[in-house]
Amino acid sequence: MKFLSWREAVNENKKLIVLFMTTSWCESCEEQEKELPEIEDERVSLVKEDADERLDLAVRYTPQIYPTISLVSKNSLIGGTYGLVKRGKLLEMISEALELIEGKGKLIVPPKLSSKKIDKFPPDYAFNHILRVCEGYFDWKEGGFEREPKHVSPEVLQLFLRFNDYYHKIMAEVTLDNVIEYLWENGFYMFSKSRDWKEPYKAKLLDYNAEMVKTLVKAYQVLKKEIYLDYAIATTDWLLSKRDSRGYFINGEFLGVEDKRPFLNVNANVGDAFMEVYRITNDKKYLEIAKDLEQRLVLAHRMDVLSPPYLIDLASYLNFLSKLNPDKARNLLNILDDYKGSEAYYDTTLRFATENKIGRFNFLYDNVLLANTLINLNIFEEAKRIVDMFLSSYSIYAYFNQAKYALVLGEIYGLFTH
C-alpha cells in the first residue's frame, strides 16, 4: 500500500486526507495497517505518519492513543477513530466523510454561543481545582490513576509530593510501591493494562523513565524511603545503557525491540534526570554525563536528520540547560523568538505551520515547561505572564498536564504550604 507524507498530501489538495498515525511502541499498529483499505478514489489522499516524529499532527488530529485514523478536510478534523478498527467500518467512515464534505450528508448546526470570553480564574481557585481533579483520578483500591489501563502519572505524583500531609503522601507511596513491584524490569514499563498492575504494557520509553527518575528522587526526599533512591539510580543506569555510539539516547523499546531515533526533547529530559540524581547523590559521574550530552545536542527535533524543532524540544533543552549552565541558557533564550506569541509561545514556527498548512497553538505542557525554565533563571515576570495566560483554559487539558501546570502555578503564587 502506498502512503503519502503529510506534506505531499496537503500539496495535492484533495478533498479528504485519511491520516494513519502510528508509533514504534504501538501494540496493534501493524495489524491496523493490514486493515486499511486500498483507496483509489481521486478525492482522497492516504497518509501515514509517526506520532513521535510529527508531534504537531499528533496533538492536532489524534487523541494521542495509537493507532489513530483521522479524517481531515481543509485542515479540519471531521472524524476518526483509535484502536483497532476493521476495514468495513473504515470504508463506511470514509464514505460518510466524503458525503459530508460534498454536502450530501446531514450536518448538525451547532448552537450559537455567546462571544463573551471566559474570565481568568484566580490562581488559588485554579490550583485547588486541579488538585481536586487529580485526586479524583486516583484509585483508592489499587493505587495509581484511572483503572484499566492503570497509569502512574508521574507529573501528578510530583504535585502530590509537594504537600506535607498524610493524604497526598500515601497516594504517592502506594502508587510507587506498586510500580516498583509490577512495572519495573530493568527500566519501567509505561502502564498496566489491568487495574491490579499485573499486566504491564511492554513499552519502555526513555522520556517516561526520565520522569520516573525525577519522581523517585522527590519521593526519596519527602518519604525518606531508601528504596526510592535505589530505583532512581537503577533507572538512571538503565537510561545510560540506551545511549548510542554518537552519544545520543534512543527513543525507547517495545517488546525488546529498540527505537533508535534520537529526539531532542527526549534527550534533554534524560539529561535533566541525570542532573537530579547528581544533585541528590553528589556523584560527579552523573554530572559529567549530563555535560557531555549537552555538548552533543543539536537544535532539531530528530537530531540525526535535523528535522525542525518544536517548542517542546527547545523548552526541554532550555530547562535542562537552566540547571546545568544557567548563563548559557539565558544567552540562548533568543532561539524562542520565532515561537513567541502575544502572551505565550506557539508550538511551531510560522514558517513550519505555513509549509504544512496547519495552525499554530499555545499548548499548556510546552509553555509550562518553558515557564519552569524561566523560574530557574529568575525571570519571574515572563514566567508569570505565560502561566496567567492559561488561567482561563487549563481545564481543557488532560489531568496530568494540569498537574504540571499546578506545580508552576503554585511556585509562582506561593500556593504550596510547608
pLDDT digits (tens, 9 = 90+) for 182-195: 999 999 999 999 99
* Residue 147 banded pLDDT, cuts 50, 70, 90: very high
Separation CA 237–CA 184 (nearest Å): 13
* 201/105: higher pLDDT: 201
Which parts of 65-142 are beta strand (E)? 68-73, 76-82
pLDDT value of position 135: 98
Residue 380 has pLDDT above 90, yes or no: yes
Separation CA 262–CA 243 (nearest Å): 9
* 126/116: higher pLDDT: 126
Residue 250 has pLDDT above 90, yes or no: yes
pTM, to two decimals: 0.95
* Residue 115 banded pLDDT, cuts 50, 70, 90: low
Give the distance from CA 58 to its chain's centroid.
10
Determine the length of the chain: 418
For residues 389-395, average pLDDT: 96
Could you tell me if 71 and 80 are in contact, meaning their C-beta atoms sit under 8 angstroms apart? yes
Per-residue pLDDT tens over the stretch 303-319? 999 999 999 999 999 99
* Residue 110 banded pLDDT, cuts 50, 70, 90: low
Percent of the chain with pLDDT over 90: 90
Residue 329, classed as helix, strand or coil, is: helix
DSSP state of 307: P
Q: Amino acid identity of 114?
A: S
Separation CA 42–CA 58 (nearest Å): 25
Could you tell me if 261 and 251 are in contact, meaning their C-beta atoms sit under 8 angstroms apart? yes
Could you tell me if 213 and 239 are in contact, meaning their C-beta atoms sit under 8 angstroms apart? yes
Q: How far is CA 365 from CA 59, 153, 317, 345, 360, in A?
A: 11, 14, 14, 11, 15
Separation CA 350–CA 314 (nearest Å): 16
Residue 36 has pLDDT above 70, yes or no: yes
Within the chain, how many helices (H) and strands (E) appear? Answer: 17, 9
Q: Hey, what's the cell of 378?
A: 529568575
Residue 48, classed as helix, strand or coil, is: strand
Separation CA 21–CA 50 (nearest Å): 6
